């Protein structure tokens, strides 16, 4: 994982697609990290929300890696970095 993603993951965050979408609804998300191997409809929704909200989207190689980096034992499709 690159240095920027590692630094972002140390900041306050929400984990999982549902929490990220709730964060968009509440205007709390400033950056999204997504797993490149997540389902296509999930990635389309994340790209769309990021574009609508002017939020940077950073892709990581896998759900397994993203889950491990945020300290959970399962894969994770998305993590939202809070404002």
Our separate counts of H helices and E strands in the chain read 4, 4
Structural domains in the chain (count) = 1
Residue 28 burial by Cβ neighbours in a 10 Å radius (0-12, 13-18, 19+): middle
Give the pLDDT of the chain (83 residues) as one tens digit per residue. Answer: 788 888 999 999 999 999 999 999 999 999 999 999 999 999 999 999 999 999 999 999 999 999 999 999 999 999 999 99
CATH of the domain at 27: 3.30.1330.30
Model confidence pLDDT, tens digit, residues 29-50: 999 999 999 999 999 999 999 9
Query: Token pair of 58, please?
Result: 């950073």
Please choose, from the candidates 57, 78, 83, the residue with its C-alpha nearest in 3D space to the C-alpha of residue 66: 78
3-state secondary structure 20-58: HHHHHHCCCEEEEEEECCCCHHHHHHHHHHHHHHCCEEE
Range of the domain at 65: 3-82
């Amino acid at each position: 994982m690159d240095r920027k993603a590692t630094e972002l993951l140390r900041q306050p965050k929400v984990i999982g697609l549902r929490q990220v979408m709730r964060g968009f609804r509440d205007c709390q998300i400033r950056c999204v990290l997504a797993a490149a191997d997540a389902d296509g409809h999930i990635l389309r929704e994340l790209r769309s929300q990021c574009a609508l909200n002017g939020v940077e989207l950073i892709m990581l190689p896998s759900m397994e890696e993203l889950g491990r980096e945020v300290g959970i034992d399962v894969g994770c499709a998305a993590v939202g970095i809070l404002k």
